[in-house]
Amino acid sequence: MEYESPTINAGAEEIREIFRKIETIAVVGLSPDPSKSSHKVASYLKRAGYKIVPVYPKEDEILGEKVYRSLKEIPFRIDMVDIFRKSSAVGPIVEACIERGDVKVVWMQAGIVNNEAADMAKKSGMSVVQNRCAMVEHMELS
């Protein structure tokens, strides 16, 4: 697998600002399995005080929160979308963020890079983080 390095990425100060300003995080690909990274990260962010909104194709509830099948279904404001999907799946997720019009941050977890989608998000006025773990970054700031 060829690894793409991020051409667009938030720096330390922007990441600090992101965590200061956001309240609601939609986690795309949040697994109900506690051994999975998405579950561990979302659980940590929830304990840190953020509202977590699971986006997953199955399940009714994960981490005590109602599960939505898509970003489009979420009937309230979302500040950040944390993505746990393959790099190739990020484009349509960013398009959904743009359509919503309320998403301020697109965060691609460690190992996920999609420069084309990142450019699209940036041009729409969103902050973009690629190839970084939200839990690790938040812990380093705490």
The rounded radius of gyration (Å) of the Cα atoms in the chain is: 14
| Per-residue pLDDT reduced to its tens digit, 104-129 | 999 999 999 999 999 999 999 999 99
> What pLDDT shows up at residue 69?
98
The pTM of the full predicted model, rounded to 2 decimals, is: 0.96
Q: Which residue has the tokens 């990425």?
A: 9
Q: Tell me the C-alpha to C-alpha distance, in Å, between residue 102 and each of 41, 77, 99.
A: 23, 6, 9
pLDDT in tens, 2-25: 457 888 899 999 999 999 999 999
Residues 51-109: tens digit of each pLDDT: 999 999 999 999 999 999 999 999 999 999 999 999 999 999 999 999 999 999 999 99
CATH topology of domain 12-141: Rossmann fold (3.40.50)
> What pLDDT shows up at residue 7?
87
